[in-house]
Amino acid sequence: MTQTWFITGSSRGFGRALAVAALGAGHRVAATARRPEQLDPLVAEFGDRVLPLALDVTDPVRTAEALAEAAARFGRLDVIVNNAGYATVAPIETGDDADVRAEFETDFWGVYNVSKAAIPYLRAQGGGLVVQFSSVGGRVGGSPGLASYQAAKFAIDGFSRVLRAETAQFGVRVLVVEPSGFRTDWAGASMQVREVPPEYSGTVGAATVGRAGGAGFPGDPARAAEILVQVAGRADVPEHLPLGVTAVDSSLALGERLLAEGRRWADVGRSADGDRPYPAPFPPDVARI
């Protein structure tokens, strides 16, 4: 079945790869970008199956207008992709508060704006798929220098869990995508690197050097896009989809650690309820580094 996709951040990276993959599979795409002229090559290649739209996702009014234009043009909206975002690198101690707030405006509030404005269309037509681009950092976290980025991605996951619970009754499905390192411009033009003081050279500084430019990342965005287009056509869609070896392996390792820790402290945690045995024995107090 031909689908209509609405993709934010379609000018480059995952957004562009997804637009190309969806169009290549015969679907229609409302492609958005802050500078819609960057979408001209898509229009030239795929014609009227592409609707280029100017959109800054931090603007809720324009977001609602863009979705309305897409729905009016194509008649329905089947797949909503929240891809637009960027990263700012800085230690928490010395980072600029304004940077953190600005990043949340795009990386979280942009997702919120698009998702909220899309719900009425999906509910009225009896369903659809919302694809939220998070990161392996939005599940595992702990990457030095990426506090604001990963905090926003964790927020996306929490928001998406509630969105899923509220809209499943309308046939709406929500998929959180969690990539690891891919050869996009995430670590290039889409990343702002602030000054790293000497005290953090071995953590934030070293990590920043390691991810500079992203050229050495193994992830292939074209492959990832093809996978997601195929997933969007399935009845069985996962709630979370790590993409890339690092994303899969680190997510599985985290799950195993959390399960082991949860079991280790389960009796202590349960003992806080008034109807449970108290006190409960604590696990052995062994220092872990």
Backbone angles phi, psi at 44, to 5 degrees: -60, -35
Active site residue 134: yes
Active site residue 149: yes
Q: d(Cα 160, Cα 176) in Å, to the nearest integer? A: 7
Residue in 10, 134, 148, 250 annotated catalytic:
134
Residue in 11, 112, 148, 153 annotated catalytic:
153
Residue in 10, 149, 180, 251 annotated catalytic:
149
Residues 6+ apart with CB under 8 A from 176: 132, 134, 138, 156, 157, 160, 239, 240, 241
Q: d(Cα 95, Cα 90) in Å, to the nearest integer? A: 5
Give, for 63, the enclosing helix (H) or strand (E).
Answer: helix 60-74
Q: Which two tokens stand for residue 286?
A: 């062994």
Give the residue ranges of DSSP H helices in 92-146: 97-107, 109-125
Active site residue 116: no
Q: Closest Cα partner for 12 from 183, 185, 223?
A: 185
Q: Which two tokens stand for residue 181?
A: 């390192």
Contact of 117 with 67, CB cutoff 8 Å: yes
Q: d(Cα 205, Cα 91) in Å, to the nearest integer? A: 9
The set of catalytic residues is 134, 149, 153
